[in-house]
Structure formats: structure tokens, C-alpha cells
């Protein structure tokens, strides 16, 4: 296991437990909410107009949109704490395995960069913890926190638009996957992963290796799409079992498995989350009053009013 130095920016935290250490405990009555901060910031930035500006005239659309997305979950699931995760855009070990990984992603838009820089302080006012994965990626940190929480007897909700995170789903961990409209994110459990892809969550890295992932720049196996990838994994279990049985497949599939065997193994390693030693975060109820002040300072009047109403209900 890799030991990661993590720096959390916190404000208004209450109920610190065992100095944040991860010790076995009874199942928590409320889940830990772990958020893929880059995923939600980008989603909010492109979903809301850049004409939404703060007192200084600069856009605040990403911060506003992400706050509303996370608050929707907080109001309905009452998490024991909220952790916002970020990390490297492309971990070195992943680009070393495949140089095309994330190669086509554009730089951070000029209007988003200042909001990204302000995000730790803004969301810190909510008593939400901001953690950075260093030279690994946010998804590695999300997975590590979910594992630590499960080992301590708790449950985790992973709020992310990254389908790679379906590999973490089990009886302790579910994914909140963003979708349009007012219904909020989709709650994906083990049955939900099976309904989507016809596989178990543990097979997701093998599935990504075969099908590919355009958002990450992974082409997958030539001639193998989503439906075929699911069928092959149901029949052979994992990528290695499938490669071993390549000669028994249809000619096009067999050729892809033989010719791309090493490349597909690299894709699977890229899709597999890396282990990180992390501490379970302390209980930290959302501080709606402090969050309202932070929203008001940034010209987010409606959000400030929503938060003031929440503070009044506490």
C-alpha cells in the first residue's frame, strides 16, 4: 500500500473522532459522501452559463452548480461527512503504460481556473473536506476512502460521473451518477452495474480494457464493443481467462485478443484503481450558516438563502 500525504482544508468541523484514525467501529447510521471534485466542477461549469458572476464580475457558475449538486445529496442522504477529492490530471504511471491516456483533453478553461483555485476555501466553509491525491488521480482517492470506510464498518456514496468507479460498488459502496433534470443523480448498486453492463463490479476494469473508454483516450480491443465485452466476460470471467481462450473465439475477436494482448493488459492496469493508505475522515455535519456567508460573499444570493433556510432547520 502506498502512503499518501493528504492535506484537508476544513472549516467549522465538529465531532472529530480518534484524531481521524480509521479504527473498527459499528456500522455508521449515515454514509460517508465522497465527491469527485473535478468531475462535478466540469459538469457544473458546462451546464450553467458563464454569465453567472460574483461580486467581482468573474464567473462563479462552476462553484454554484457543484454546491447545488452536492447539497441535493446532503439533504436526502444526511452524510456523516463530505469529502471532495482531486488529484493529478493524468497519473504518470498511466501515461507511461499508454501515452494516449488523457492526451486529447483540453486545458482548464480560463473562466474555470479561478473557480477551481477558490474551491477549497469556498467548500471548506461548508465544513466539507478537500483532499488531494498528489501524483495519483481523484478516482484513486475515492476508491481508497470507500475501502477504508468499509473496513471500519461504514458505508460510502461516491458522487462521480466517472464510470470507472463502478468497480468500487459492493454491499458497502454505491455510486451516485449525475444525470440531467431535477431527479438528482442515479444511485447505482451491484444490481445497477449488472443491469448496465451485464457484469459484476469487479469485472469493470476488464470491461473497460476490452470496450475502451473514449473519455480517457483508451481505444479498447479492435472490433469488441460494449455488448460483446460483456458477453465475453460473463463466459470467461476476466481478461486473462479470455486471452487464454482466444483461439476458441470468432476470428475477429481472436485476432484482437492475440494481437493486442499486452496492450489490453495495460488498459486494464490503467482502469484499475491504485491503493492508497488513508484515514477515515471525522464526522463533520455541513455548516449551513458558514456556507451561507461564503455564498453571499461571492454574490450567490439564491444559494445563500437556501443555506440560511437549512441553517434555520438545524
Phi-psi region of 57 (alpha: psi -120 to 50; beta: other; left: phi over 0): left
pLDDT value of residue 110: 96
pLDDT value of residue 19: 38
Residue from 198, 189, 225 nearest 210 by CA: 225
Residue from 132, 204, 198, 133 nearest 164 by CA: 204
Domain 199-271 is classified in which CATH homologous superfamily?
5' to 3' exonuclease, C-terminal subdomain (1.10.150.20)
CA distances from 118 to 15, 53, 112, 307 (A): 26, 14, 10, 19
Tell me: pLDDT of 52 over 90.
Answer: yes
Facing residues of 36 across strands? 85
Tell me: pLDDT of 49 over 50.
Answer: yes
Domain spans of the chain, in order of start: 10-15+25-196+274-313, 199-271
Tell me: pLDDT of 26 over 70.
Answer: no
314 pLDDT band, cuts 50/70/90, is: confident
pTM here is 0.90
pLDDT value of residue 50: 96
At the top level of CATH, which class does the domain 10-15+25-196+274-313 belong to?
A: alpha beta
Tell me: pLDDT of 266 over 70.
Answer: yes
Please, are residues 249 and 51 in contact by the beta-carbon 8 Å criterion?
A: no
Counting other chains too, the contacts that 95-99 makes at CB distance below 8 Å and 24 or more residues apart are: 97/266, 97/269, 97/270, 98/217, 98/218, 98/263, 98/266, 98/267, 98/270
Amino acid at each position: 500500500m502506498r502512503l499518501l500525504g493528504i492535506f484537508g482544508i476544513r472549516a467549522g468541523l465538529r465531532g472529530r473522532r480518534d484524531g481521524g484514525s480509521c479504527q473498527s467501529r459499528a456500522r455508521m447510521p449515515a454514509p460517508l459522501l465522497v465527491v469527485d471534485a473535478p468531475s462535478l466542477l466540469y459538469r457544473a461549469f458546462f451546464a450553467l452559463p458563464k454569465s453567472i458572476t460574483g461580486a467581482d464580475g468573474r464567473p462563479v457558475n462552476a462553484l454554484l452548480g457543484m454546491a447545488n449538486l452536492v447539497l441535493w445529496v446532503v439533504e436526502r442522504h444526511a452524510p456523516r461527512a463530505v469529502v471532495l477529492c482531486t488529484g493529478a490530471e493524468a497519473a504518470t504511471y498511466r501515461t507511461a503504460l499508454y501515452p494516449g491516456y488523457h492526451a486529447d483533453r483540453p486545458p482548464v478553461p480560463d473562466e474555470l481556473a479561478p473557480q477551481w483555485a477558490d474551491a477549497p476555501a469556498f467548500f471548506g466553509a461548508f465544513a466539507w473536506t478537500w483532499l488531494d491525491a498528489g501524483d495519483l488521480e481523484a478516482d484513486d482517492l475515492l476508491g481508497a476512502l470507500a475501502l477504508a470506510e468499509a473496513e471500519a464498518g461504514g458505508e460510502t456514496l461516491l458522487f462521480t460521473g466517472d464510470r470507472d468507479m463502478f468497480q468500487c460498488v459492493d454491499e458497502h459502496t454505491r455510486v451516485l451518477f449525475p444525470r440531467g433534470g431535477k431527479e438528482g443523480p442515479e444511485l447505482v448498486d451491484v444490481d445497477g452495474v449488472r443491469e448496465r453492463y451485464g457484469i459484476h463490479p469487479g469485472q469493470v476494469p476488464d470491461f473497460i480494457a476490452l470496450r475502451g473508454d473514449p473519455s480517457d483516450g483508451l481505444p479498447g480491443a479492435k472490433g469488441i464493443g460494449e455488448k460483446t465485452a460483456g458477453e465475453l466476460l460473463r463466459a470467461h470471467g476476466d481478461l486473462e481467462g479470455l486471452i487464454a481462450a482466444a483461439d476458441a473465439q470468432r476470428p475477429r475477436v481472436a485476432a484482437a485478443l492475440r494481437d493486442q494482448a499486452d496492450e489490453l493488459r495495460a488498459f486494464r492496469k490503467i482502469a484499475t484503481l491504485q491503493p492508497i493508505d488513508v484515514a477515515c475522515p471525522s464526522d463533520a455535519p455541513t455548516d449551513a450558516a458558514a456556507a451561507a456567508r461564503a455564498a453571499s460573499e461571492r454574490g450567490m444570493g439564491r444559494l445563500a438563502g437556501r443555506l440560511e433556510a437549512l441553517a434555520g432547520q438545524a
